Amino acid sequence: MSIFDTILQPLQYAFMQRGIMAAILVGIVCAVLGTYVVLRGMAFFGDALAHAILPGVAIGYLIGGGAREPLFWWALLTGILSAIGIGTISRSTRIKEDTAIGIIFAGMFALGIALISSVRSYTVDLAHFLFGDVLGVRTSDLVLTAIFGTLILLVIFLLYKEFMVISFDPILAATLRLPVRLLDYLLMILISIAIVVSLQTVGVALMVAMLVTPAATASLLTRRLSTMMILASAFAALSGIIGLYLSYYLNLASGAAIVLTCTGFFLMIWSSTSILRQKTR
């Protein structure tokens, strides 16, 4: 089998085409937002938010009886409410923010599992949302992903300089009279939308990798925020494609294959930059 066949053969299946498109879209959106997650040290927040939408997914599933749309909207609602909840609790009480995140994260995740366990027959389907099912993406899912993904990228583009200032120097942002809190909540809400949109690709459990790993890889290679976003998107999109091929040929779970490819890129870049740095010393 030639290299051409290796590449083209999986593409004759429509589910592979849709899967690859979804993986690329989701990869880019998560990587761009992930740049802020990495720079602001919000990895734990991202992980928690991904887990916290599980009850929304469960309720959407139970109400919609398997239809995708209610599930999406319920997940979105839960994600946004969790983001605001975590932000408010960590800000207004004497509890430290990582503790607040831990409490909401575990509580919501448990609620999700409890809801799922109450209806045994749905268990298998809902497992897809824990670990992702990118090959089950339908055209309507793809459209939703594209719409919300574009929306997120547009907001990031329009508020690029504001998000940069609140991330680097919040006191400056306040003296420039920027709406710091509003922007802060907006960023958290964007992250939760990205998580819901990516749900089908990698699932709740591995979501944090899509947010953190490509951005961290890019941070090793550049000293500019905009370049970091572009590089992170490239790593994420490539990981999506390579991961899906690995999944096809080696018969691996698709979400895991994508995340493992991301991790592979990170280890490769990290080790080569470390070696280079030692040589130049």
Partner 1 sequence: MKIGSYLRWLKQIQDSNFTFLHPPHPHEAGKPVLRLENVSVEYESGVALDNLSFELCPGERLAVLGPNGAGKSTLFKVIAGVLRPSRGLVEVAGYEPGKHICIAYVPQRSQVDWNFPLRVTDVVMMGRVGRIGLFRFPTEKDREIVQRALKTVRLETYANRQIGQLSGGQQQRMFIARALAQEAELMLMDEPLTGLDMNAQKELFDILDTLREQGVTVMIALHDMKIAAERFDRVVLLNQRLIGLGSPEEVLTADNLLMAYGGHLQLVTTKNGTIAVSDTCCDEGEHEHF
Minimum separation from the CB atom of position 208 to partner 1 (A): 15
Nearest CA-CA partner of 240 in 262, 220, 219: 262
Minimum separation from the CB atom of position 138 to partner 1 (A): 35
Which one of 26-34, 71-79, 145-153, 175-183 is the stretch in contact with partner 1 (CB under 8 A)? 175-183
272: Cβ–Cβ under 8 A, 6 or more apart, which residues? Answer: none
Taking the C-alpha atoms of residue 160 and residue 30, their distance in angstroms, rounded to an integer, is 16
Which one of 14-22, 167-175, 235-243, 250-258 is the stretch in contact with partner 1 (CB under 8 A)? 167-175
Minimum separation from the CB atom of position 255 to partner 1 (A): 27
Binders of partner 1 among 247-266, rule CB under 8 A?
A: none
Question: Considering only residues 1, 3, 14, 171, which one is a binding residue for partner 1 as defined by CB under 8 A?
Answer: 171
Binders of partner 1 among 208-247, rule CB under 8 A?
A: 219, 222-225, 227-228
For residues 3 and 171, which CB has a smaller minimum distance to partner 1 in the complex? 171
Residue matched to tokens 């400056």: 172
Minimum separation from the CB atom of position 220 to partner 1 (A): 11
Task: Yes or no: say if 78 and 131 are a contact pair by the CB < 8 Å rule.
Answer: no
Taking the C-alpha atoms of residue 44 and residue 229, their distance in angstroms, rounded to an integer, is 20
Number of amino acids touching partner 1 (CB under 8 A): 39
Question: Considering only residues 17, 40, 77, 230, which one is a binding residue for partner 1 as defined by CB under 8 A?
Answer: 40
Which ranges of the chain would DSSP assign to H, the alpha helix?
3-8, 14-39, 43-52, 54-64, 68-92, 97-118, 123-131, 139-158, 160-168, 170-175, 180-219, 225-250, 254-280
Task: Yes or no: say if 24 and 262 are a contact pair by the CB < 8 Å rule.
Answer: no
For residues 91 and 277, which CB has a smaller minimum distance to partner 1 in the complex? 91
Minimum separation from the CB atom of position 171 to partner 1 (A): 5
Task: Yes or no: say if 211 and 33 are a contact pair by the CB < 8 Å rule.
Answer: yes
Minimum separation from the CB atom of position 37 to partner 1 (A): 10
Minimum separation from the CB atom of position 42 to partner 1 (A): 6
User: Any contact of residue 181 with partner 1 (CB under 8 A)?
Assistant: yes
Taking the C-alpha atoms of residue 76 and residue 143, their distance in angstroms, rounded to an integer, is 16
Residue matched to tokens 């509890």: 95
256: Cβ–Cβ under 8 A, 6 or more apart, which residues? Answer: 131, 206
Binders of partner 1 among 65-124, rule CB under 8 A?
A: 90-92, 96-98
Task: Yes or no: say if 66 and 125 are a contact pair by the CB < 8 Å rule.
Answer: yes
Which residues would be at the binding site for partner 1 (CB under 8 A)?
Answer: 39-42, 45, 90-92, 96-98, 158-159, 161-162, 164-165, 167-172, 174-181, 184, 219, 222-225, 227-228
